[in-house]
Amino acid sequence: MLLKHREFGFICPEFSLALSGNGFLLPRSRRELLGKSLLGAAKTRHLTGRYTWEIHHEGAEYWSLPVVVAWARHRLHPEPFLAIRASHPRLVRQQLKPLAGSDVEISFSPRPAGS
């Protein structure tokens, strides 16, 4: 059985978080967007949907919240990159600001529809 949504994550040295003009959170590692190519052969359609976003810093969970994962495109970037939709994105960005420049792990675990 092939699961539509899969758990996935990234190790992000020098983490930062931008906010797009249309309200998507754009995580970065060393000032680079997290491109789909970092995930190898996984197809973006299998990694799009409802997830729980967890952020770990120094081995401990720092943040966990429900989000919607999407893969954005922009003419200045050669490949799709991770874009996250969250309730109150400005508040999320503010809460994660203390992690800017730190090394973090971010992971996404599928969550059922309606949760």
H or E stretch covering 28:
strand 25-29
Averaged pLDDT score across all residues of the chain? 88
Distance of alpha carbon 115 from alpha carbon 106, whole angstroms: 20
Distance of alpha carbon 34 from alpha carbon 36, whole angstroms: 7
If DSSP codes are grouped into helix, strand and coil, which group holds residue 2?
A: coil
pTM above 0.75, yes or no: yes
Distance of alpha carbon 81 from alpha carbon 99, whole angstroms: 21
What does the pLDDT look like over 40-55, one tens digit per residue?
665 556 678 899 999 9
Which domains, ranges and CATH numbers included, belong to the chain?
8-110 (2.40.30)
